[in-house]
Amino acid sequence: MSKENPEATTKVPDDLLAKEHEELIPIADDALVAAYECLRDQDDAESQGPMGGDLNSHEPPGPADQDPPASPGRTYPNIRRLHGTPFEREKDRRETRAWAERCGGEMQEWYEVARTKPCTWWLENHLVARHSLDGCIACGVCTSLCPAAEYYEEYDPRVIIDTALSNDEARLVDLLKSETLWYCGQCGSCKPKCPRENNLMGLISSLRFLAQLKGYHLCSVRGRQQYAARHLWGGNLWNRACSLYFRNVDAESHADFGPRYAQYQSEVEPQMTRVGANPDTAGQFGGRKVPPETLEELRRCVAGGGTLALWNRLEEQALEEARRLGISIEEYFERVRSEG
């Protein structure tokens, strides 16, 4: 894992969460992943020293019928402090690259080959794309019912179908480089009314996947946001077995939810616990932690389906872009997350 970095060291600094990304680079891949897991699994008392800072010690009152939390070592007591940090993102970069090298697999190879093929080949061969379209009678019902077409004046989903059916590589490349490819809200309002029963949301999602594999998403503001998406949803899945973690929806980044929401968020853990949810504890409902065995199985499923080919490609592209712009990968992450 460390062969790309001959200067790598196995010495792990004791204040990893405070480190800038550049300071994490010299740490060997194995050591970085091991340090993350060690910090994640430490209980609160142990973690005060090495990780620095104060823990949120607001202990929620548990309902009478709630099982006690599992032992801290099994359920990542410090995940709340690691989520969404530069340290976690750097760990994920290294870990998913190592997983891809180690696991490989049929679908990962398929996606790595597919990105070198023409877009027209993708439309004929990708599992979702080839089931999405059955011609078009140009009735325009997809556009007339589309909430995104109403909001974004330049967006016309019928044009996407027309482009996909054109078999014109140049038009397809232009579409994959466009802003408009990213406007669909994936609601499916178009689907029940299409006379040809086309699956436009599936087609668009498939084309977005291809745009990222080929790097064409870098040509649009909305496309570049996918690097933030990969770490938000991908990071949650990889580390917490959910797409959305309850700590992602903090009041500060959701000012549009109003002051009452901020009040709720200020006591979110006891509020979740009182109704039977499981904020960062063992359980079946909101905020639950899963044991390592479950996380391992989920990761193997994600890897087995070829997704790591995309995640690692996004990392390579983001690093190249950051270098081109003369900024760090974390500065690039912040830029694409707030751009638009």
Partner 1 sequence: MRTTITAPAGEAASKEIPENDFFLTPSCVLGALNPGTEVLISRIYDLLGLRWTAAGNRPDSQCTCCTGIASHGDVMSMESTLLVVARLWSIAAQMGFENITTACVTSFAIHTECLEMYQHEPGLDKRVDRWLQEACGRRLQIPRHVVHASDIVYRYRQALGQEFMRYRLVEKRTGRPLRIVDHVGCHYAKVFPEKSVGGSDWCEVLTGMIRAWGGETVDYPERNHCCGMGFRQCMIRPNRGYTLACVLKKLESMEPWKPDAILTNCPGCNVFLDKEQWAAKELSGTTYDIPTLSYTELVGLLLGWDPYEVVGIQAHTVPVEPLLDKIGIAYDKSKEWFSRHG
Distance of CA 201 to the CA centre of its chain: 19
151 binds partner 1 (CB under 8 A): yes
If the CB atoms of residues 22 and 296 are measured against partner 1, the closer one turns out to be 296
318/200 Cα distance (integer angstroms): 28
282 φ, ψ to 5°? -65, 140
For residue 14, the minimal CB distance to partner 1 (Å) is: 31
If the CB atoms of residues 3 and 260 are measured against partner 1, the closer one turns out to be 260
For residue 224, the minimal CB distance to partner 1 (Å) is: 10
If the CB atoms of residues 128 and 159 are measured against partner 1, the closer one turns out to be 128
Q: Which of 18, 45, 113, 127 binds partner 1 (CB under 8 A)?
A: 127
Per-residue mark of binding to partner 1, 159-178 (x: CB under 8 A): --------------------
For residue 326, the minimal CB distance to partner 1 (Å) is: 23
Count of residues touching partner 1 (by CB under 8 A): 99
238-297 positions binding partner 1, by CB under 8 A? 241-246, 248-249, 253-254, 256-261, 263-264, 266-267, 270-272, 274-278, 282-291, 293-294, 296-297
209 binds partner 1 (CB under 8 A): yes
Nearest to 97 by CA among 3, 9, 210, 19: 3
108/111 Cα distance (integer angstroms): 5
Query: Please, what is the Cα angle at 289 between 283 and 292, to 5 degrees?
Result: 115
Is there a contact between 121 and 87 (Cβ–Cβ < 8 Å)? Answer: no
- How many CA within 13 A on the CB side of residue 296? 4
76/42 Cα distance (integer angstroms): 7
Strand partners for 9: 27
208 binds partner 1 (CB under 8 A): yes
226 binds partner 1 (CB under 8 A): yes
Per-residue mark of binding to partner 1, 93-112 (x: CB under 8 A): ------------xxx---x-
1-60 positions binding partner 1, by CB under 8 A? none
Contacting residues for 166 by C-beta, under 8 A, at least 6 apart: 172
For residue 19, the minimal CB distance to partner 1 (Å) is: 26
Is there a contact between 299 and 99 (Cβ–Cβ < 8 Å)? Answer: yes
Stretch that binds partner 1, among 34-42, 67-75, 88-96, 321-329 (CB under 8 A): 67-75
If the CB atoms of residues 50 and 104 are measured against partner 1, the closer one turns out to be 104
225 binds partner 1 (CB under 8 A): yes
222 binds partner 1 (CB under 8 A): yes
For residue 252, the minimal CB distance to partner 1 (Å) is: 11
First-to-last CA distance in the chain?
A: 36
Distance of CA 118 to the CA centre of its chain: 26
237, two tokens: 């899945």
Q: Which of 189, 198, 220, 239 binds partner 1 (CB under 8 A)?
A: 189
Crossing angle of the two packed helices 307-325 and 106-114, in degrees rounded to 10: 40
